[in-house]
Amino acid sequence: MPRRLLVAVGVAAALGGAASAAADQLPILRSAQAVRHHLVLKLSVGDVRPTDLTVATRRAVNVDGAFLQKNVRALEAIQLPVAATGVVRWRSHLRLRSGTYFVQVMATDIGGGVTDCPPKQPKCNEHWSNVRRVVVRRAS
């Protein structure tokens, strides 16, 4: 019996860690595609507010979940209506050359939780989305 309890506690702890990791993947980048060399994103917006789009040439991310700086090719601020919630469509102003890119969104926590970060964690309110691959095709 104690062994089963220990296994159950271990499974519960593992699932809790997975849920926490999933929470750091907000806002969920539902889709990303290139339309006339502009990026069109669909984002799930909730207690986090998308603020930045990052475009990279490789999928590699650092320990915070952001793209490695050496692979970043473009950054753009995301501006959404204040009342935007749920799934939101957004189009970038930047134009990309033909090629394969990886896109990711950074969002700031605006929920009812902590708004100030401790001194040793200055970016605690920043969350990185999942990464999506986008192919920008040559105009025909």
Architecture of domain 26-136: Sandwich (2.60)
**Residue spans per domain, the chain:** 26-136
Q: Mind listing the pLDDT tens digit for each residue in 57-69?
A: 999 999 989 999 9
pLDDT at 25: 47
**Structure confidence by residue, pLDDT tens digits, 101-120:** 999 999 888 765 556 666 66
Element (H, E) at 31: strand 29-35
User: Among residues 35, 28, 53, which one has the least CA distance to residue 104?
Assistant: 53
The pTM is what? 0.74
